[in-house]
Amino acid sequence: MFCSEKKLLEVERKVKANDREYNEKFQYADNRIHTSKYNILTFLPINLFEQFQRVANAYFLFLLILQLIPEISSLTWFTTIVPLVLVITMTAVKDATDDCFRHKSDNQVNNRQSEVLIDGNAIT
């Protein structure tokens, strides 16, 4: 029943070959490749969210919060925040460099020359 409901919601697409102006009116999805996870604005919030979903990072964050309460803590907050920040920073740098390489790879693939058939003639 779910599949039949989904089919009812789909809209028919009409594409005309070799009529770019007609096809651009509908704003269909392009065929660019996007394998990168972040951009400049979303890196910090998404990366922190992903890192604190790891059990070890969430555990150390919880310990840090508990150590901010002097009545229950025998250590200073500094002993927990340094390793936590170090691990999070190193992981963030690794994720940033990986994503930078993904952006470069995406740009190389998306800017490759290809052959296009226009009126039966191949154009590079």
Q: For 11-31, how does the pLDDT look when each residue is reduced to its tens digit (9 = 90+)?
A: 777 777 777 788 788 877 777
- The domains of the chain are located at 35-123
3-state secondary structure of 78: helix
Which of 44, 41, 39, 59 is closest to 91 using CA atoms?
Answer: 44
End-to-end, the C-alpha distance of the chain in Å comes to 46
DSSP one-letter code for 117: E
**What are 26-66's pLDDT values in tens digits?**
877 777 888 999 999 999 999 999 999 999 999 999 989 98
Which pTM value belongs to this model? Answer: 0.68
Report the distance separating Cα 85 and Cα 5, nearest Å: 48
